[in-house]
A and B are shown apart, each in its own frame.
Chain A
Amino acid sequence: MLSVRQISKTLPSFTLRDVSFEVQPGQYFVLLGASGVGKSVLFEIIAGLTCPDAGRILLDGRDITDEKIQQRKIGLVFQNSALFPHMTVYDNIAYPLRCKKLRNYQIHERVVELAEDFAITALLKRRPQTLSGGESQRVSLARAVASEPRCLLLDEPISSLDVKSRPQMRALLRRINAQGRAVLHITHDYTEAASLGTHIGVMEGGTIAQVGTVEEVFQRPKSEFIARFVGIRNFFEGQLAKPESDQTDTRRFRTGDLVFWVLSDNPGESGYVMIRSEDITICNSASRTSARNNFEGRIVDIAPAGPGVEVIVDIGVEVATLITAESVKKLELDCGKKVWISFKASAVKFVEG
C-alpha cells in the first residue's frame, strides 16, 4: 500500500500543501488535476526524484521518504516514454533485470515472457526511435513491470498517444492492475480517470480537493471547482448494446431501469456515459425535437451555479441540468414541479470502463 502523508513543497511558481492520500493494493488511483497544479512535482516526490519540504511517503508500511530512487520499488512510466535510445527494445526491458545481476538465461526468459504479455515480441530487436507512440509506451510499461515494482507510477501515459492506440493502452493498464499491482496514474483528462480509475483524487491549487471512488467524485463533486473541472455531473454506469442495424451508430445504453440513446462507435460494452449538464434542455411538456433522449421527471433541487442555475431533475436517477436564470423564471420552475428533459444521442459520451 502506498501512503502519501501531508506532503508539502514550496517552489518558486507554486506550493504543494498537505497532500495526503492512500493507494491500496489492487487499486487504480487516478490523480486528476489541471495543468500546473503540482501533479508532476508530486510524481517526482513519490518517485524520489525530488525531496519534499515536509511529509512522509510510506510503501507497505515502510517509510521511503528518504530512500534512494533505486531502492524504492516504484516503477515509473513517463508521458514521453523514457526508453534508452542507444539500446534495443530487448535491452531496454532487460535493463532492470541486469541491474539485479540475474543470469543471462533468466534475463532472456523473463524478457520473452514480458514481450508476449505486452504484445511486443516482434519489436524486440528494434530501436526505440523506430517505434510508434503506442509501441513505445507498451515497451516502457513492460520495462517498468520487469523491475517488479510494488507500485506503478504513471505520468500521463496516454496523453501523447494517437486516438487509435489509446484503447489498447487502456486495456493493457487494466490488465496490469487486475494482476493486483497498485497503480497511481497522473492525468488532466477526466475521461482517462473515468475509464481506468477505481479511485480518484482531484488536485486543486496545490492540494487534494477530493478523494473518492469514480462515482463519488463525478456524481457528487465537493466543490464548484471540482464540478467545473471534471465538467460532468451526469455520470452513469451501465451496459452499451450493439447498434440495431449496420446503417446506424446509435445504440442503447442501459443503466438501472433507464435506457439512453448513445451515438458511439466504441467497440466496448460495459462502461460509463457522461452528459454535460449544459447539453440538457428542460421543457414544461413533451415536444418533438431531434433529440433522441426525452424523459419526464420531477425537479428535486434548484441552485445557483456560477453563471447559471443548476436544476436537478429526478427521472429515476438524478440528472443535473444547467440553464439560465431567465429560463427558470420563464418556465416557472420550482422544486416538485413535473418537467421534461431532453438531450441528443450525440451529447451522451460513452467511456469504456
Chain B
Amino acid sequence: MTSSPGIRTEPLVLLFAVLGGAVLLFVVAPLVSMCLQCSLPELVETARDDEVQSSIWLTLWTSMTATVIFAIAAIPFAYLLARKDFPLKGLVAGIIDLPIVIPHSAAGIALLGIVSRNGLLGGAAAKMGLRFVGTSAGIMAAMAFVSVPFLVNSARDGFGAVPVRLEKAALSLGASPLRVFLTISVPLAARSIVSGFILMWARGMSEFGAVLIIAYHPMITPVLIYERFGAFGLKYARPVAVLFISVCLVFFIILRFLAAEKENAQR
C-alpha cells in the first residue's frame, strides 16, 4: 500500500483497511459458508439433475442473447448520449437509470403491462406468433429491462473518453461517420463496452424479481433456487445455488480473460 510522501496517513489508512476488510468479509463469508456446507456428493448429484442442467443452460443463453440483442441498439444510443447534445438529454439519461432504482418485482409488473397479450408490445408480437408471458422471450425481456442501464452507462463513459480529435481526423481522411463509429469510436471504447456487456450479462443472469412475474416457467436458475427453497428447504436449494455461482464465475472469468486479451492486442 502506498501513500503520499510527507503526509502521515498510517492510522487513517489502517482504519480504512479495517473497514474495507469488514465489507469484504460481509460479502465473502456467506458465500464461503454456503460452499463449505455443501458436500461434494451433493454437488455431483445436483449437477446430474436434468432440471438443474436445463435451468442453468436456459439462464446462460437467455441472458447472453438478451445482452447481444440489446447491445445492437444500446451501443449506438450510448454514443449519441456521449457525443451529442439534444433537448431533455438529462431526462433521457435519468430514464435509462430508472430500472436500477425501481424494485424489480415492480419492474416485472410494469413490463407485464406491455408484454401480455392485451399489452401494446405483447399484442403486436402475438400477431406474429411470438409470446412473452411464460416463454424464454419474456425471460429475455425481463432480464434486459433491469440490466440494460449497465451497458448503456458503461459504453457512454467509454465513448466519452475517446478523443473527439481522432474522430475528426478520421473524417478528414475521407471516412464516413458510420465508418468512423465502427473503426475508431467502437474499438477505442471497447474496454468500457466489453465491461458493460459483461455487467449486463451478469446482472441479467442474476435477475429474479422481474422474471418471476413475466415467466415463472420455463424456470431460470434463480427461480429454481427459490422454488426448491420454498418446497424442500435450504438443504435442497443450497447445492443448486453453489453450482450456479460456480458456473457463473467460470463464464465471468473466461469473458474477462478474453476481453483482456483483446485489449492487449489493441495496445
Asked if A72 meets B173 with Cβ closer than 8 Å, knowing A82-B163, A85-B188, A86-B187, the reply is no
Asked whether any CB of chain A lies closer than 8 Å to the CB of B175, the reply is yes
Given the complex of chains A and B, what is the CA–CA distance between A70 and B173 in angstroms?
6
Asked whether any CB of chain B lies closer than 8 Å to the CB of A127, the reply is yes
Asked if A78 meets B165 with Cβ closer than 8 Å, knowing A85-B188, A86-B266, the reply is yes
Asked whether any CB of chain B lies closer than 8 Å to the CB of A74, the reply is yes
Q: How many A-B residue pairs have CB under 8 A?
A: 62
Asked whether any CB of chain A lies closer than 8 Å to the CB of B166, the reply is yes
Establish whether residues A147 and B266, one from each chain, have CB atoms under 8 Å apart when the complex forms. Answer: no
C-beta contact mask, A65-78 vs B, less than 8 Å → 1, else 0? 00011101011101
Establish whether residues B173 and A95, one from each chain, have CB atoms under 8 Å apart when the complex forms. Answer: yes
Establish whether residues A99 and B166, one from each chain, have CB atoms under 8 Å apart when the complex forms. Answer: no
Establish whether residues A99 and B168, one from each chain, have CB atoms under 8 Å apart when the complex forms. Answer: no
Establish whether residues B267 and A47, one from each chain, have CB atoms under 8 Å apart when the complex forms. Answer: no
Given the complex of chains A and B, what is the CA–CA distance between A84 and B174 in angstroms?
15
C-beta contact mask, B165-193 vs A, less than 8 Å → 1, else 0? 11011111111100100011001100000
Given the complex of chains A and B, what is the CA–CA distance between A143 and B166 in angstroms?
13
Q: Choose among A76, A86, A95, A147 the residue that contacts B168 (Cβ–Cβ < 8 A).
A: A76
Asked if A82 meets B176 with Cβ closer than 8 Å, knowing A69-B171, A70-B171, A127-B267, the reply is no
Chain A interfacial residues counted at CB < 8 A: 26
Given the complex of chains A and B, what is the CA–CA distance between A68 and B166 in angstroms?
16
- Residues of chain B lying within 8 A (CB to CB) of residue A47: 168, 172
Asked whether any CB of chain B lies closer than 8 Å to the CB of A331, the reply is no
- Residues of chain A lying within 8 A (CB to CB) of residue B166: 82, 84-85
Q: Choose among B168, B172, B184 the residue that contacts A84 (Cβ–Cβ < 8 A).
A: B184
Interface size class of B (residues with CB under 8 A): 10 to 19
Of B163, B169, B183, B267, chain A has the most CB atoms within 10 Å of the CB of: B169
- Residues of chain B lying within 8 A (CB to CB) of residue A74: 172
Interface residues of A in 101-155 (CB under 8 A from B): 127, 129, 143-144, 146-147
- Residues of chain A lying within 8 A (CB to CB) of residue B173: 70, 75, 95-96, 99, 143-144, 146-147
Asked whether any CB of chain B lies closer than 8 Å to the CB of A329, the reply is no
Q: Choose among A48, A72, A78, A86 the residue that contacts B169 (Cβ–Cβ < 8 A).
A: A78
Q: Choose among B170, B172, B267 the residue that contacts A75 (Cβ–Cβ < 8 A).
A: B172
- Residues of chain B lying within 8 A (CB to CB) of residue A49: 168
Q: Choose among A70, A85, A129 the residue that contacts B172 (Cβ–Cβ < 8 A).
A: A70
C-beta contact mask, B73-109 vs A, less than 8 Å → 1, else 0? 0000000000000000000000000000000000000
Whole-angstrom distance between the Cβ of A129 and the nearest chain B Cβ: 7
Asked whether any CB of chain B lies closer than 8 Å to the CB of A100, the reply is yes
Interface residues of A in 74-98 (CB under 8 A from B): 74-76, 78, 80, 82, 84-86, 95-96
Given the complex of chains A and B, what is the CA–CA distance between A147 and B173 in angstroms?
6
- Residues of chain B lying within 8 A (CB to CB) of residue A68: 171
Interface residues of B in 148-178 (CB under 8 A from A): 163, 165-166, 168-176
Asked if A69 meets B266 with Cβ closer than 8 Å, knowing A99-B173, A99-B175, A100-B174, the reply is no
Whole-angstrom distance between the Cβ of B156 and the nearest chain A Cβ: 19
- Residues of chain A lying within 8 A (CB to CB) of residue B163: 82
Establish whether residues B165 and A70, one from each chain, have CB atoms under 8 Å apart when the complex forms. Answer: no
Given the complex of chains A and B, what is the CA–CA distance between A77 and B163 in angstroms?
15
Given the complex of chains A and B, what is the CA–CA distance between A40 and B233 in angstroms?
70
- Residues of chain B lying within 8 A (CB to CB) of residue A143: 173
Q: Choose among A70, A75, A96 the residue that contacts B176 (Cβ–Cβ < 8 A).
A: A70
Report the nearest B residue to A96, measured CB to CB. Answer: B173
Establish whether residues A76 and B169, one from each chain, have CB atoms under 8 Å apart when the complex forms. Answer: yes
Given the complex of chains A and B, what is the CA–CA distance between A205 and B198 in angstroms?
52
Establish whether residues B169 and A82, one from each chain, have CB atoms under 8 Å apart when the complex forms. Answer: yes
Report the nearest A residue to B169, measured CB to CB. Answer: A82
C-beta contact mask, A38-67 vs B, less than 8 Å → 1, else 0? 000000000111000000000000000000
Of B165, B174, B179, B188, chain A has the most CB atoms within 10 Å of the CB of: B174
Given the complex of chains A and B, what is the CA–CA distance between A28 and B73 in angstroms?
47
Given the complex of chains A and B, what is the CA–CA distance between A240 and B101 in angstroms?
75
The 3 closest A-B pairs by CB, nearest first: A82-B169, A96-B173, A69-B171
Can you list 21 pairs linking A and B with CB atoms under 8 Å apart? A47-B168, A48-B171, A69-B168, A69-B172, A70-B171, A75-B172, A76-B168, A82-B169, A84-B170, A84-B188, A85-B166, A86-B266, A95-B173, A96-B174, A96-B175, A99-B173, A100-B174, A144-B172, A144-B173, A147-B172, A147-B174
